[in-house]
């Protein structure tokens, strides 16, 4: 089990220069991948994305690469023809606008495309073989971070799962008391409003049965236990389980709400409040699970 929050960093040299690779992930409902690479490496972006997707299935992922080229690895080209045309255009602008400041070399270089690095695609294709292991190492460092965080999340979720299981057992133990609760409640009402009336035990039993059936929570308890067992099994697995955990928590919350709406006992209502609080705490943790 992994957290969606993590960080990875690797630096190392290739044939064309020195690389610094940063990987950062945050929680997100789906996989959102953002690559920030130097212009020279734009041809690698699809490869980088595919490599990250092989190991990360969920989360907001930011890949940032810094590159320091080796001087002997690159040659610089000056486009003199283009520079001459730009120079004439700049002089004409200064003349037409009667500018006191005349264009200079700095102004010319700001135009762009005058001085460029001579690029050879074949060299970058070969360089990928040097860059690839560095990127894989950065991804593995990120995964290690996410796994460490994931172990902490698993421990917390298992603790709250046991607490929820304990409270479910307490609610189950109190469920049979509903019969006596409604019988005593009806007898009290009859004595309050009809103190002289003779109580028909058979009719009273029918009314009690009606309210007991209406407030029966056994099915909810059974389903809640099944969800807890399913969650515990998932927490023992190493695959991506975040979405399934979210679904299970939704179902747990639904069952607990139903128990709360059916039962009028103060003891059960108090337990329901505790159970909903625990589920909310589990939600906070599950939002960070891949």
Same domain, 91 and 38: no
Same domain, 93 and 193: no
| Gap between the Cα atoms of 193 and 220, Å rounded | 35
Span 63-93, pLDDT tens digits: 999 998 876 655 567 777 788 887 888 888 8
Cβ-Cβ contacts under 8 Å for 256 (sequence gap 6 or more): 220, 224, 272, 275, 276, 279
Same domain, 157 and 232: yes
Model confidence at 202, pLDDT cuts 50, 70, 90, reads: low
Q: Three-class SS of residue 194?
A: coil
Q: Are strands 59-69 and 31-36 parallel, antiparallel or unpaired?
A: parallel
Among 89-103, 112-126, 197-211, which range has the highest average pLDDT?
Answer: 89-103
| Gap between the Cα atoms of 268 and 274, Å rounded | 10
Longest CA–CA separation in the chain, Å: 115
| Gap between the Cα atoms of 108 and 80, Å rounded | 11
Q: Where are the alpha helices (DSSP H) in 175-195?
A: 178-193
Q: How many CA atoms lie within 13 A of 86 on its CB side?
A: 18
pTM of the model: 0.70
Q: Which uninterrupted H or E stretch holds 19? A: strand 17-26
| Gap between the Cα atoms of 114 and 76, Å rounded | 10
Q: Is the pLDDT of residue 44 over 80?
A: yes
Same domain, 191 and 255: yes
Q: Which of 275, 176, 290 is nearest to 227 (CA)?
A: 275
Model confidence at 261, pLDDT cuts 50, 70, 90, reads: confident
pLDDT of residue 136: 96
Domain that holds residue 88: 80-113
Average confidence score pLDDT of the chain? 84
Same domain, 228 and 105: no
Report the domain count for the chain.
Answer: 3
Same domain, 13 and 44: yes
Q: Where are the alpha helices (DSSP H) in 39-79?
A: 45-55
pLDDT of residue 52: 95
Q: Is residue 59 part of a domain?
A: yes
pLDDT of residue 217: 80
Q: Which uninterrupted H or E stretch holds 157? A: helix 121-174
């Amino acid at each position: 089990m992994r957290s969606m929050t993590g960080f990875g960093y690797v630096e190392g040299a290739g044939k064309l220069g020195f690389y610094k690779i940063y990987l950062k992930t945050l929680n997100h409902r789906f996989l959102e991948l953002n690559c920030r690479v130097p212009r020279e490496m734009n041809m690698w972006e699809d490869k980088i994305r595919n490599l990250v997707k092989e190991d990360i299935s969920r989360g907001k992922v930011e890949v940032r690469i810094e590159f320091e080229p080796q001087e002997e690895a690159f040659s610089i080209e000056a486009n003199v023809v283009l520079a001459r045309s730009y120079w004439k255009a700049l002089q004409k602008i200064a003349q037409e606008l009667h500018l006191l400041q005349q264009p200079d070399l700095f102004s010319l270089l700001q135009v762009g495309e005058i001085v460029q690095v001579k690029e050879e695609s074949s060299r970058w294709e070969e360089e990928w073989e040097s860059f690839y292991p560095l990127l894989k190492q950065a991804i593995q460092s990120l995964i290690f971070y996410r796994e460490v965080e994931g172990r902490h999340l698993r421990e917390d979720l298992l603790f709250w799962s046991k607490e929820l299981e304990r409270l479910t057992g307490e609610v189950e133990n109190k469920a049979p008391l509903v019969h006596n609760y409604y019988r005593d409640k009806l007898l009290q009402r009859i004595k309050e409003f009809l103190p002289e009336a003779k109580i028909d035990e058979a009719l009273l039993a029918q009314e009690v049965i009606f309210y007991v059936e209406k407030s029966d929570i056994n099915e909810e308890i059974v389903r809640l236990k099944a969800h807890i067992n399913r969650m515990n099994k998932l927490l023992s697995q190493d695959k991506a389980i975040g979405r399934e955990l979210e679904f299970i928590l939704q179902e747990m919350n639904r069952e607990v709400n139903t128990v709360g709406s059916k039962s009028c006992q103060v003891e059960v209502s108090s337990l329901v409040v505790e159970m909903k609080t625990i589920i909310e705490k589990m939600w906070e943790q599950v939002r960070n699970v891949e």
